[in-house]
Amino acid sequence: MKQLKLTGFVIFFFFLTESLTLPTQPQDVDDVRITQKFIDDNIGYITIIAFAQYIQEASFEEVEMLVKAMTEYRDKCLADRTFPECSKLANEVLLENICAMEGLPQKYNFSHCCHKVDFERRLCFFHNKKADIGLLPPLPTLDPEEKCQTYKNNRESFLNNYVYEVSRRNPFVFAPTLLTVAARFEEMTKTCCEEQEKANCFQTKAEPFIYYLKALSSYQKNACRALMKFGRQILQSINIAILSQKFPKIGFKQLTSLLEDVSSKYDGCCEGDVVQCIRGRSKVMSHICSKQDSISSKIKDCCEKKIPERGECIIYSNKDDRPNDLSLREAKFIESDNVCEKRDADQANFMAEFLYEYSRRHPELSTPELLRIAKVYKDLLKECCNMENPPECYRHAENRFNETTEKSLKIVQRECEHFQNLGKDDLKYHYLINLTKLAPQLSTEELTFLGKEMVMALTTCCTLSEEFACVDNLVDLVLGELCGINENRNINPAVDHCCKTNFAFRRSCFESLEADKTYVPPSTSQGLFTFHADLCQAHNEELQRKKDRFLVNLVKLKPELAGEELWSLLADFTNVVEKCCKAQEPEACFKEESPKLAAKSQAA
């Protein structure tokens, strides 16, 4: 059950993160004053996150200079808020300070953003973020003993550096999530530095919150991608589906009110306005707990907890019980004679209410599937309401809904069959080959990441009774990662079409894709078949990464090869490594065997 709750919290957590040093007293309403105190107390972390996400290449020393400037700004305004600059939005002041840092805009190529103002400036900085972090140096790793000594000697600098490194590598993750990760990192550091087996402790305790960060990163990027590329209406639909499933007893008017608070924070969070994002999150939490009697029976104990624990409690709480008086279907959308008139009176509100009613009745469905059903219903009404007898037409809507879900279910079943029939490594190779054939223009790092994410989704979900919703939700996030968030992301015409045409049906669109016909492979092997004795020093995990990269680069070089031929060449690569690493002269062995493998690939 723990894995299921993890997948559930991935989808729901987006609304509810609380973090770090928020006040610890129990309370009913997280008011503006308390939120502002949190922001003032954490101005250092907030500045680091914003700067490191906007300008990922900036050094830690440059970030520290901005922290100093923003801390002075905070102290000045706390002493006297009548200064003109104190009336500005915090993010506006932050961007002004970044642009004012001597030589920095030219050094990191963001001068064009500094010439813009207001929304245009914020959007420019947002589009300056880079999802591919290959431009950054490898994440620094410290020996556990050294890590503990550094923490003991200078806690503040140690944690600041950690927040900086994580933020620049996760440019689209929302600030409250990064602050939560920082708090957990410090808890882990305190605990593990007291242990004898420090290395083992760090490894064991780091895994859950690394997964937590990756999961939240995928979901937040997906939500912002929906907003940026498809507009507010799609994002609103996602929110309706998620909240209606989590809180099935909430009334539609109450949901509409909650959605106003939820929606108001997206601009800040998605643009990277750290302060507005934190304020928006706090407002949503306050709304839920202040109206808990009409929202959910499962969160009473959660809302009585201290604020740092409150969000976690709500996230891990079960979906609320289905109300006893909730019928299996809402007749007014299918059996009423005046459906078309109601739709025409206020189409946006009518479709929102349909999605709400359908979602709260179907907790077993995924968020993408609920959006598909809503799209099918909308298209059906467009067709039926132009007919002579609309009711006779739309009374068969349930059949259309069931057909749509059946198609989605077959896709999930096919993927879970792959999971059952292939081992974990072979499953990954299956997806590495397929993904690389679909989108060979992506970097090797991106493709290996996407392959691993597909395996994680199926490993997590395919043994659960709630298999369909779990797989469909998580695989949709992987496709979101593939599509990317920035407007300048272009892969190839077929993939771009699936990414941009229809948010709800992109899964089935990808299912119908074949290998990219526009791709021109490199003219040379670019060292793909040149192996050295250093392969023998690679640990299992590192060797596995090299095998993954070899396979992806092989597909890029030979996209015309069938899966069986690619698998055969991968097996040959594995055999060469095993043979040569056992040889007395590994380097000589590799020099002899590498050309043979290259020749075999040419002959294939």
Give dist(CA 497, CA 603) in Å, integer: 35
Which phi and psi angles does 42 have, rounded to 5°? -115, 25
Count of alpha carbons within 13 angstroms of residue 412, beta-carbon side: 28
Which phi and psi angles does 313 have, rounded to 5°? -60, -45
In this structure, the number of other CB atoms found within 10 A of the CB of residue 3 comes to: 13
Q: Are 28 and 303 in contact (CB under 8 A)?
A: yes
Q: Are 313 and 9 in contact (CB under 8 A)?
A: no
Which tokens in the block code for residue 490? 């272009």
**Is 273 marked within a binding site?**
yes
Q: How many helices (H) and strands (E) does the chain have?
A: 32, 0
Q: Are 458 and 413 in contact (CB under 8 A)?
A: no
Distances (CA, A) of 584 to 25, 151, 323, 540, 572: 67, 45, 72, 21, 20
In this structure, the number of other CB atoms found within 10 A of the CB of residue 137 comes to: 8
Alpha helices in 439-562 (DSSP H): 444-461, 467-483, 493-501, 506-511, 540-557
Q: What is the DSSP letter of 332?
A: G
3-state helix, strand and coil shares in percent for the chain, rounded to the nearest 5: 70, 0, 30
Give dist(CA 462, CA 417) in Å, integer: 9
Indicate the annotated binding residues: 273
Indicate the annotated binding residues for Zn(2+): 273
